Amino acid sequence: MNGSGIIAVDLSFPDTVQFFAGRPSKKTDLPSTPLSFPSVTYPRRQKLRGKLRIVMSQAIKLNQVEVRFNGHTELAWRDPLKSEHSFLAERMNERKTLRKSKSTLLEEATLPAGVTELGFEITIPGHLCPTFKSKFLDITYMITAKIVPAGAKLCKKPIRVEKEICLQKTLLPHDIATLAGYQVPLLTMSGASRRGDDDTIIRYEFRVPKWTCLDNDTIDFDGTFSISSPTSGITGIAKVEVDMVEQHFYHYDMTKDDKEDHLAETPIVFGDRLTKRHLFISHNEPSIYLFPPLDTNIAFSFPINNKHSQSDSSTSSPPCRIKSIPYAPTRLAPPDDDILPTSCSWILDSAQYYSPATIISKGNLSYSLDSPFLEIRHFIRLVIHPLASDTTTPQPVCIGLPIHITRKLTPPQTSSDELPTYNSITRDVERLPDYVTTMMDMAPAAAVAAHHNTDDEAALSPTPQEGMDEVDISDLYNAQRSRQSTHSSEYSNSTASSSHGKQNQLERILIQERRLEDFWIIP
C-alpha cells in the first residue's frame, strides 16, 4: 500500500448505534410543546468501541495513527418538475458539519511486522440527527482512520480508510421497547368550525397517540362530533374521510436565535424563496365513515404501512404543484373565543397562511425528522362533510391532527450467562452521572425495599475516590445499586407529582381548520 510496507488496513466496530427516548428528570428537559421532539435520549451519549487492524510486511515507523468521527448533512434540492439538465431549475445547496471529533491512538511509534490491532473509543452524543438519505438530503456519519508513516511529507502519503456508521433514533422508551401492549400517551385535540347560512358551529374532539411506529399495520384513535343547533340548516355529518399525509420542509439552516422563535411545527414563515414544501400522500385509499352519530365516541382507524409495490410506480400520480393562496385575514381566521375550548394550552400551525409553493405527490411514508435543512412532519388528515337539510352542499371541513412516526428499535440483547468483568464494572460506575446502566431492568420496588431493609448496604456504598489504587468490586456493586434505587424512588415521586398536575390543568391542543386549496387536496 503506497510502497510503505502496509499490506491492509481495516476498521471493525458495530455498524449501528441506537438511541431510545429517555425519561426527563428535570423541567428543563421537557419539550416546549407536546409535539416537539424530546431533547433527552437514552443513553445521553454512546461510547462506540472498535478496533483498527493494520497488517504489515515489515516493521514500520509511524508518526501518527488517529481515528476521526465526522458527521455532516448536505442539502441538494432542485425543482423536481424541471428537467435534470435544465439550467433554469431552482436549486438550494447547503452543507453543514454536525459533529467532528478526533482520537489519537499512536504517536512516534514503530509497529512490528504482522497484524497489529489498536482499540479506540469514540463518544457519540444523543442530540445528533439520525442517519437519513433521500433524493434531496443526506445525513451521514463516517469513522475515518488516518495512518501517517514516518517521512510522509517527503515521499509517502498518509493512508486513509473510512467506514460509514448508522445512527438510529426512536421515540420508544428503552425500558418498554421490548414489551407488548404498551399504551402510547394520548393527546386531546379539539376545535370548532362554522358552516351554513346561520353559522352553525361544528365541534370536534379527538384523542390521538403522540407517536406511532411505521411497522404497525394501522393507526387507531377516537373522536366525537357535535353541532350547536342541529335543527338548523346543518343536521349532522354526511361522511368523514381519514388518511395520512407527510409534509417535508426544505429550508436553509436557521440561526440559533430564530430557532427559538419559530417552532418546528411551523417553519414556513421564511417565505417561498427560502422554504420548499413537499407533500406525500399515502398510496392507501382513505378510510370513509358514513353518517357518524353525533355526541358519540367513534373509533377511527387507517393503515399506515407502505403496501405500494414498485411495479405500480408507473401508474402512480406524477408530482403536481399547487401555489398557496396569499394570506387572507377574512378567510379561515382563527376561531372566535366564544367557540373555543376553555382549556386549550397550545395553538398549532399559527403560520399556516404563509405557506410557500407546494409540490404534491403520492409516495411511501417515512419517519418524522428534525434536522438543520429538512423537517418531516406527519398529519392525520380528516375531511368532514356536513349534512344539510336542504339540497345545498356545505363546504367540507379539513383539519390535520399532528402525529410523529418513529422507528421501532429492539435493544441489543446481552447474554445473562456472562459475568461482568472488573473493567466493565468500574467503567459503569464512573459514567453513572451521565448514563443509566442495565441494572435499571431490575424491579424498582425490590430495589427500594432492599435499600431500606438492609442497613449494612448503606454503610458499604461510598463512592470510589479517583485517587484510590485498589477498589473492592463489592463496594462498587453496592454503590451502583444504591444510586439506582435512589434514582428510581426520585423518578417515581416526580412522575406522580407531574401526572397529578396534568390532571388538574387538563391540557388540550387547539386544531385550526385548513383551507382545501392549501391543505393537501389534489384537484
The pLDDT tens digits for 25-37 are 555 555 556 667 7
Number of structural domains (the chain) is 2
In this structure, are residues 176 and 182 in contact, taking their beta carbons and an 8 Å threshold?
Answer: yes
pLDDT in tens, 482-493: 444 444 444 444
Domain of 214, CATH number, reads 2.60.40.640
Residue 140 located in a structural domain: yes
What are the residue ranges in the chain where pLDDT is below 70? 1-4, 24-35, 152-156, 177-178, 230-232, 254-273, 306-318, 320-356, 412-507, 515-523
In this structure, are residues 143 and 162 in contact, taking their beta carbons and an 8 Å threshold?
Answer: yes
Last residue of some domain: 119, 138, 172? 172
Assign 475 to helix, strand or coil. Answer: helix
Residues 190, 236: one domain?
A: yes
Three cell numbers written together for 254 = 436557521
Longest dimension (CA), the chain: 94
In this structure, are residues 455 and 482 in contact, taking their beta carbons and an 8 Å threshold?
Answer: no
pLDDT for residue 205? 94
Q: How far is CA 180 from CA 175, 187, 299, 438, 498, in A?
A: 12, 21, 21, 20, 25
DSSP designation for 514: B
pLDDT for residue 104? 92
Residues 165, 223: one domain?
A: no
In this structure, are residues 140 and 71 in contact, taking their beta carbons and an 8 Å threshold?
Answer: yes
Residue 438 located in a structural domain: no
Residue 498 located in a structural domain: no
DSSP designation for 340: S
Last residue of some domain: 118, 142, 172? 172
Half-sphere exposure of 453 (CA within 13 A, CB side): 6
Last residue of some domain: 172, 202, 222? 172
Q: Is the pTM of this model over 0.75?
A: no
Residue 248 located in a structural domain: yes
pLDDT for residue 374? 92
Range of the domain at 144: 6-26+37-172
Residues 81, 108: one domain?
A: yes
Residues 72, 131: one domain?
A: yes
Residues 147, 282: one domain?
A: no
Dihedral sign (CA 240, 243, 244, 247):
negative
Residue 319 located in a structural domain: no
* Contacts of 95 by beta carbon, 8 Å cutoff, 6+ apart: 72, 73, 74, 75
Q: Which residues pair with 320 in a beta bridge?
A: 360
Residue 217 located in a structural domain: yes
Q: How far apart are CA 307 and CA 57, in angstroms?
A: 54
Residue 246 located in a structural domain: yes
Three cell numbers written together for 448 = 427500594
Q: How far apart are CA 22 and CA 210, in angstroms?
A: 15
Residues 168, 203: one domain?
A: no
Whether the bond into 329 is cis, omega within 30 of 0:
no
Please spell the DSSP secondary structure of 265-326, one letter per residue. Answer: T--GGG-TTTEEEEEEE-SSPPEEEESPPTTS-EEEEEE-S----GGGGGGSPPPEEEPPPP
Three cell numbers written together for 68 = 476521526
Residues 162, 249: one domain?
A: no
Residue 376 located in a structural domain: yes
CB atoms within 10 A of CB 156: 17
Residues 245, 277: one domain?
A: yes
Residues 42, 74: one domain?
A: yes
Q: Which of 286, 285, 150, 301 is nearest to 222 (CA)?
A: 301
CA angle 343, 348, 351 (to 5 degrees): 135
